[in-house]
Amino acid sequence: MSTESTTTDRPDISFVSPAYREPKNLPVLYDRIKAVMDRLGRTWEWIIVDDHSPDETFDIITQLAAADPRVRGVRLARNYSSHTAITCGLHQAAGACAVVLAADLQDPPEIVPELIEPWERGAQVVWAVRGKRLGEKRRTVFFARLFYILVRNFVGMKEMPATGADFFLLDRRAIDGFCQFGETNVHILALITWMGFRQETIVYTKQARLHGKSAFNFEKRMQLVLDCITSFTTRPIRLMGLIGFLVSLVGFVLAGRIIWEVFVLDTGPPEGYASLMVAVLVIGGIQMLMMGVLGEYLWRALDEARRRPRFLIEAHTSSPPNSPSAPK
């Protein structure tokens, strides 16, 4: 659980960036953040969470931190995910608010003044909603939209932006509220939406990556989809019950028909090996699908019951004051 800092030199804004294989992008992003904050005249810090990159990413973070004490770096003990890295960064953040933005320069820091305006008016969560997505494949955009349609209509989170948001601002109260949660398998954007608080949105254009390729593959996307569904709705289980009822109803109707033909019409039992096998395979497939859905819920329940740390930190560029290293 995060504890609010009592120091008088708390920065106005904590920037939090998950980073994986971003050695070329980080220096450029630093210059842009510094330029924006110099114009705003606000105090700030930048927390970069290296998700155990196999390259020189943490070396670059260390160099930035040595040159500017407002930059702090954390290296995770293994590769978790960008959402876990964001969680770690928010636990380290000491600012009056936190701005979460990607290290790949797809989220332009020049939008930060637009995020601050609603916050100053009282908003506690400000989403930067993607209007356009430059440099993205049509397949990626299609599946992203499909995911948010699923979240808004099937999971029931109507408040989540329809086109998604990876770039956002959290007020101190929202940060402290977020850090109270100890769930391991959770979609943090859905969790922040679920938390409530006063939320507003702005629209921006998501930029193309300047260097490198995204490591956010299909498997990781599916993991987030499952985390979002299993964490915030029981509809899959209820749908399983409905399907089971309908399949049973069809079975009873067919059984009644066979009894009628055998004992009333005296036509003998119906023949048809193919139709019998189709019925067995369909019912068996539905049962296996249901077991798979139940397995996802059971696995997550087991994972939470173990109470393992959500992340382990391998190294810091410096010792952050008044900030926990990991949730209990």
Domain ranges of the chain: 13-220+308-316, 235-306
Identify the segments of the chain with pLDDT beneath 50. Answer: 1-8, 321-328
User: pTM here?
Assistant: 0.68
Per-residue DSSP letter, 209: P
Instruction: Give the per-residue pLDDT at 1.
Output: 35
- Only one residue has tokens 């066979």, namely 258
Strands 44-50 and 13-19, bridge-based pairing: parallel
Amino acid identity, position 184: T
Model pLDDT for residues 237-261, shown as the tens digit of each residue: 777 777 777 777 776 777 677 667 7
166-197: pLDDT as tens digits: 789 999 999 998 888 877 777 778 788 888 88
Q: Specify the fold of 13-220+308-316.
A: Spore Coat Polysaccharide Biosynthesis Protein SpsA; Chain A (3.90.550)
Query: What ranges in 41-186 are assigned the alpha helix state H?
Result: 57-67, 82-92, 112-120, 138-150, 172-178
**Residue 20 in tokens:** 């994986």
Angle 320-324-306 (CA atoms, 0-180°, nearest 5)?
145
d(CA 129, CA 164): 6
Model pLDDT, residue 6: 41
> Which pLDDT score is estimated for 304?
67
